[in-house]
Amino acid sequence: MLSQALILCGGLGTRLGELTAATPKPMLPVAGRPFLDHLIQEVARYGITRIVLLAGRFGEQIVEAFDGKSLYGADIEVLVEPAPLGTGGALAFAAPVLDPEFLLLNGDSWIDADLVRFARAFHDARAAEPGLAAQMLLQQVPDAGRFGSVTLDGHHVRAFLEKSPERAGKPGLINAGVYLLRREIIDLIPSGTACSLEADVLPRLVAAGRVAAVAAPPGSYFIDIGIPETFARVQEELPRVRTRPAIFFDRDGTLNRDAGYTHRVEDLAWMPGAREAVAHANAAGYLVFVVTNQAGVARGHYDEAAILRFHRAMQDELSAVGGHIDAIEWCPHHVDAAVEAYRRDCRRRKPGPGMLEDLLAAWPVDTARSVMIGDTEADMQAAAAAGIRGRRYEGGSVLDLLRQSI
């Protein structure tokens, strides 16, 4: 499963005029938050745990806002290029921190696409063609003339077509600004030299047949904020597109078998239909959250690092069926804790609603259509206190119960 994403934040944003005269384009406010904050949350919900922001002009603003922070389950690092390097040069500048495979996204555009399924498609393609070095996400638009377009031969990219008045008003597939890349492509970029990933690097890989592409599902929401018209539209559209119902799952005894203070990766055993239930909820457009009491930390049986390892294993195994958990909340506290630092009566511990309330505050959730699925009365009480409909899991297929609940 992929762990790393890079977001390009170095564009000048000249078409936005005064809006970007003293502000990086990704830091412009959308619905009361920087556009970049929305994008980080969207990337992190697919299980990405490390995000690198590649900043340029006014990069100190991005450093101040995000560098060294942990947001939505991801650790954020900001790199500021010493001079304008272009998309390819910025990528080479980040070479020392790159994983063997990583996502790369434009910091000024948004597409509603499942990044876990995008990554699976690349891994499946590479199993048949190990020489593939890149995969692009494409979007069908009614007017490809403004963006330039991409032509395909099967799942291979065949050519990039520049913007052209002749194609104005004509539909086509365009580059959505999301890539899955192998680190080896850095060898094609001269160190310290300004160059374009799209113009100088990808065409060479395309000519060698090493670039695959996946089209986003028809009707997927796509927008870039690079012109005043779209920046105005995104203020209303993005909050509406992002708001969706959620499934809140209990963990032990609902998604996985309860082994008693379950925390070892080797003890991860899924309940019947649980992984499929998560993937089904993802495909149906629901956010998927896990809220779990973890008093084993308070009692000294394990530490919070063990919880993180267990959750990473869950995400890894879910990715094999095309699923993911958007966010996981746990409460390590208990009034009778053996470890003093965790001894307290915490509102986040179920039946308290605190974990659900924190998720509702942080994520754009349609509460009226959301459901909590758990195996205990405490789960049902927590759901009721948070204003969420509860469904009790009493054995059998978690997938069947989910289908009956949404």
pLDDT at 172: 86
Query: What six digits make up the tokens of 51?
Result: 């995000």
Q: What is the dihedral of CA 61, 66, 72, 73, to 10 degrees?
A: 160
Q: What is the C-alpha separation between 313 and 70, in angstroms, rounded? A: 20
108-154, pLDDT tens digit by residue?
A: 999 999 999 999 999 999 999 999 999 999 999 888 777 778 999 99
CA angle (51 as vertex; 370, 14 as ends), nearest 5: 100
Kindly report the backbone phi and psi dihedral angles of residue 153, in degrees, each rounded to the nearest multiple of 5, phi listed first: -130, 95
Q: Where are the beta strands (DSSP E) in 149-245?
A: 149-153, 156-161, 172-182, 211-215, 222-224
Please state, in angstroms and as integers, the Cα–Cα distance from residue 350 to each residue in 271, 301, 344, 353, following that order: 21, 19, 13, 6
Q: What is the C-alpha separation between 174 and 87, in angstroms, rounded? A: 18
pTM, two decimal places: 0.94
**Contacting residues for 394 by C-beta, under 8 A, at least 6 apart:** 375
Mean pLDDT per 10-residue interval, the chain, length 406 residues: 94 88 96 97 97 96 98 97 93 96 96 95 96 96 80 92 70 92 93 87 95 93 94 96 97 97 97 98 97 98 98 97 97 98 98 98 97 98 98 98 97
Q: Which residues are catalytic?
A: 250, 252
CA nearest to 3, candidates 276, 275, 304, 316 = 316
Q: What is the C-alpha separation between 151 and 146, in angstroms, rounded? A: 16
Written as one string, the DSSP assignment of 144-173 is -TTT-EEEEETTEEEEEE---GGGTT--EE
Report yes or no: 9 and 62 within 8 Å, Cβ to Cβ: yes
272-311, pLDDT tens digit by residue?
A: 999 999 999 999 999 999 999 999 999 999 999 999 999 9
Q: What is the C-alpha separation between 257 and 1, in angstroms, rounded? A: 23
pLDDT at 164: 66
Report yes or no: 223 and 13 within 8 Å, Cβ to Cβ: no
Query: What six digits make up the tokens of 395?
Result: 């054995």
